[in-house]
Amino acid sequence: MKPARSKTLIPWLLLIVVALIAYGSLYPFNFKPDAFDGGLLAALRELSWARAGRGDRVSNVLLYIPLGFCLFLWFEPGRRRLLVALLVVVLGAALSLVIEVAQIFISPRVPSLTDLSLNTLGTLAGTAAGFAWRSISRLIPMPTVGGNRRDRSALVVILLWMGWRFAPFVPQLSLAKIKAALAPLFAPQVEVAATLGYLACWLVVAQAVLTLASRQGGVEALLGLITAALVGRLLLAGQVFVPSELLALLLLLPALVVINRLSARPRRLVMFSAVSAVFLFERLAPFTFSGSPGEFDLWPFLGWIETGMPVDIRALLAFLFFCCALMWLLKEAAVPLDMAVDAVVGGVLVVELLQMWQPHQSASITDPLLALGAGLALKLLDPTAHRRSLSFR
């Protein structure tokens, strides 16, 4: 029996992908019907093997990978995968052909069989990615019962992560913006430390999603969240694709398969250790300390006030994400929320004290107070948390 599709996100993701392909391929939409005389066959003869630059070649492949990915996930349930893969590649090539013919009637565009070949290659790569996603996601151990939709702390973790990824929340829809977002992928540079940091954060976000969603919808909800984060890179000012984050996303599902084979409490403690390490690296790297300490500012938010409140919203959301993620992970590991809040606030205070010995760093009571505020907010959202017994079964 084929799975029902009425609640799937895939058609909506596919619609977004096709819209982005059409926008990136047909902009500025100044169609001129009289730019070419002749029928379809004559139009096809206009296509040439025009050479493209490295950036255009990479863009043509990358643009169609999500198309193949979404098409495969949409068509695959209950059907033979080889036939689905063949159908997806044909559809991707057909869409590319239609767009290349349409570009004949747009003056700045150069229709090309090279682009058609690269788009088809991208569709094939996306199909392979969809096959891998579907195969690996079925290996992730998940509870057979529905998710805990009352866990508001998990929702806070997800919202803070997406807020961090989306800041400063300024839409910028243009072809130049899309090209600028893709530019780091033309000559990708991957950093091991950054990849591990992104992987640790995405693992926490994935666990939060799986906590809130049911067994059937958890992986698909995670896919929707990843899609939103990637689309935000294309459409929001100041956002570009980070090769290290994309590599972390490729490793995410295999990492989930491994870590979810642990029981609940050890799994949360492992992730707590990983996220703590990322937080310490972000706050204390390159770990150079001087012989004499600096001053510790006991006036909260004084630095903001003295400089006219130039709050870095991305840095603030990142800090709050780490604090709430650590508190949530401790709570999920059967630590009472009161104790989790105390532990995280104490850890932040220790980090601030260590920064007194770091050159070009300032130590302040501000961050511990922000962490305390985040903890109080989580306690308000989870009023029963303080009554949970201190049990480490």
Which of 70-79, 240-249, 375-384: highest mean pLDDT? 240-249
Mean pLDDT of 330-339: 91
For position 215, what pLDDT does the model report?
55
Contact between 144 and 196 (Cβ < 8 Å): no
Phi/psi of residue 364, nearest 5 degrees: -150, 160
pLDDT band (50, 70, 90) for residue 392: very low
For position 3, what pLDDT does the model report?
44
For position 49, what pLDDT does the model report?
73
For position 108, what pLDDT does the model report?
66
Q: Choose between 81 and 39: higher pLDDT.
A: 81
To which H or E segment does residue 364 belong?
strand 363-364
Span of 141-145, 277-281, 352-356 with lowest mean pLDDT? 141-145
For position 19, what pLDDT does the model report?
92
Q: For the chain, what percent of residues have pLDDT higher than 90?
A: 49
**Amino acid (1-letter code) at residue 160:** L
pLDDT band (50, 70, 90) for residue 144: very low
Contact between 211 and 154 (Cβ < 8 Å): yes
User: Is residue 20 scored above 80 in pLDDT?
Assistant: yes
82-123 pLDDT, tens digit per residue, is: 999 999 999 999 999 989 888 877 766 677 888 889 999 999
Q: Choose between 49 and 333: higher pLDDT.
A: 333
Rounded to two decimals, the pTM is 0.86
Contact between 118 and 194 (Cβ < 8 Å): no
203-227 pLDDT, tens digit per residue, is: 999 999 988 876 557 888 899 999 9
In 3D, which of 90, 52, 91, 72 has the Cα closest to residue 10?
72
* Mean of all residue pLDDT scores within the chain: 85
pLDDT band (50, 70, 90) for residue 146: very low
User: Is residue 242 scored above 60 in pLDDT?
Assistant: yes
User: Is residue 328 scored above 80 in pLDDT?
Assistant: yes
For position 2, what pLDDT does the model report?
46
In 3D, which of 110, 115, 108, 112 has the Cα closest to residue 92?
115
Mean pLDDT of 16-43: 75
pLDDT band (50, 70, 90) for residue 264: confident
